[in-house]
């Protein structure tokens, strides 16, 4: 759907603008759907990383600013694993209980001049954005507070959040949540990350590497939930949004797997969307493929949305099937193994003999 709106010229006059704070390694690939109608401004503390990334894609601009709620001097704790560097010193005794403890070992403590996100963007002539992603190892709230004048026109925020102060003493989830609610954003999705204890490590969720190529520990398939990426968007239904904000919101909903929310907007504002692409065509593009079947929007909605076998999992199991959907390896949770299930059935059958 987003590709169809982009092709119809929805962002020709004003490119879709993403601000990525904590852009080490590059930005997410899903933004490429906007093609040439995309502008990305990335921030990272490391000037060398910014220079490397600036040479890759002319649609992106990476700036080595240290961002905070105000301009002053602040210590940055440079970590053994570069992406873990932060304005907050990790509690070594606490993190050492986990498999990723070595990642947060502090290697140096330079003082940096900080500025606000609003001031940094103004220095390159940018005074608005469509979406902000902020991953600053605990400093997310301060960075968002330093962009308060940008928030009224912003349609979405993806922010990392911590669930405990034991980690490094940074603001917790509820503090960031409270601030964003006050700015009229709503939580739409939460992607949680876990670390397992050294006492019994679980398999890793994905591969991490130190700058020199050595394997590094990272989030595990199971373990204690310590942080998450939280997606905040605006609920525009029942309001009178600007046309661009409406279209931007629908695109963000689809990009982040919330096609039902995009469909809701299209149905409520058929005229606005239909001026670019027929609304029925957009709705058809939003319909998910289920169990190998592709249906039009009308065909999909004509089905029994509660009783239809197409939309229900088999044998009462969760749908989709994997116990741990984020993990793409062979690991199976202990309670879900065939051996355990067979043993359970044997015990149940013995009760009726």
- Model confidence pLDDT, tens digit, residues 312-337: 776 655 555 444 444 343 333 333 34
pLDDT of res. 179: 97
Determine the pLDDT at residue 65.
94
The C-alpha atoms of residue 192 and residue 224 are separated, in whole angstroms, by: 10
Domain with CATH 3.40.50.150 in the chain: 2-233
Do the Cβ atoms of 43 and 21 come closer than 8 Å?
yes
Query: What pLDDT shows up at residue 279?
Result: 97
Q: How high is the pLDDT of residue 320?
A: 52
Compute the radius of gyration of the chain from its Cα atoms. Answer: 23
Return the bridge partners of 111, or none. 75
User: CA end-to-end span of the chain, whole Å?
Assistant: 57
Nearest to 48 by CA among 24, 74, 68, 73: 24
Minimal CA–CA distance to 246: which of 223, 230, 264? 264
Of 185, 224, 208, give the one whose Cα is nearest residue 98.
224
Model confidence pLDDT, tens digit, residues 163-178: 999 989 999 999 999 9
H helices present in the chain, as ranges = 2-7, 47-54, 92-95, 117-122, 140-145, 173-182, 243-255, 259-268, 270-274, 279-286, 297-301, 338-350
- pLDDT at position 207 is 86
The whole-number pLDDT of residue 94 equals 94
Longest dimension (CA), the chain: 79
Distance CA 342, CA 331 (A): 18
- 3-class DSSP assignment, residue 144: helix
Fold of domain 2-233: Rossmann fold (3.40.50)
Q: Are 113 and 73 in contact (CB under 8 A)?
A: yes
Separation in Å, CA 68 to CA 59, 72, 87: 25, 8, 9
Structure tokens that stand for 225 in this block: 């939930």
Tokens of 204: 């890793």
| Residue burial 251-264, b: 16+ Cβ < 10 Å; e: rest | bbbbbbebbebbbb
Which stretches of the chain drop beneath a pLDDT of 70?
314-353
**Where does 83-235 have alpha helices with state H?**
92-95, 117-122, 140-145, 173-182
Write out the two tokens for 328.
Answer: 């793409």
């Amino acid at each position: 759907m987003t590709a169809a709106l982009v092709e119809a010229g929805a962002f020709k006059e004003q490119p879709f603008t993403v601000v990525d704070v904590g852009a080490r390694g590059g930005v997410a690939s899903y933004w490429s759907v906007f093609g040439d109608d995309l502008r990305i401004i990335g921030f990272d503390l490391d000037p060398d990383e910014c220079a490397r990334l600036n040479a890759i894609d002319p649609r992106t601009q990476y700036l080595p600013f240290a961002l905070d709620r105000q301009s002053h001097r602040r210590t940055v704790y440079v970590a053994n694993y570069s992406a873990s560097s932060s304005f907050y010193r990790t509690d070594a005794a606490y993190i050492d209980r986990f498999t990723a403890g070595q990642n947060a070992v502090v290697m140096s403590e330079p003082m940096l001049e900080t500025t606000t996100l609003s001031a940094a963007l103004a220095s390159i002539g940018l005074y608005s954005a469509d979406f902000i992603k902020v991953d600053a190892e605990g400093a997310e709230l301060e960075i968002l507070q330093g962009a308060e004048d940008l928030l009224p026109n912003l349609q979405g925020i993806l922010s990392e959040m911590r669930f405990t102060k034991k980690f490094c003493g940074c603001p917790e989830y509820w503090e960031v949540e409270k601030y964003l609610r006050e700015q009229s954003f709503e939580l739409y999705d939460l992607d949680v990350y876990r670390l397992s204890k050294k006492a019994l490590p679980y398999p890793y969720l994905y591969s991490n590497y130190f700058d020199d190529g050595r394997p590094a520990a990272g989030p595990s398939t199971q373990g204690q939930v310590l942080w998450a990426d939280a997606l905040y968007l605006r609920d525009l239904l029942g309001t009178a949004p600007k046309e661009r904000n409406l279209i931007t919101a629908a695109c963000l909903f689809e990009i982040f797997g919330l096609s039902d929310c995009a469909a809701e907007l299209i149905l409520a504002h058929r005229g606005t969307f239909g001026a670019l692409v027929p609304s029925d065509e957009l709705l058809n593009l939003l319909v998910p493929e289920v169990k190998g079947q592709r249906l039009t929007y009308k065909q999909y909605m004509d089905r029994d949305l509660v009783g239809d076998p197409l939309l229900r999992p088999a044998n009462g199991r969760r749908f989709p099937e994997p116990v741990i959907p984020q993990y793409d390896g062979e690991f199976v949770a202990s309670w879900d193994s065939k051996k355990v299930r067979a043993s359970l059935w044997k015990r149940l059958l013995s009760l009726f003999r």
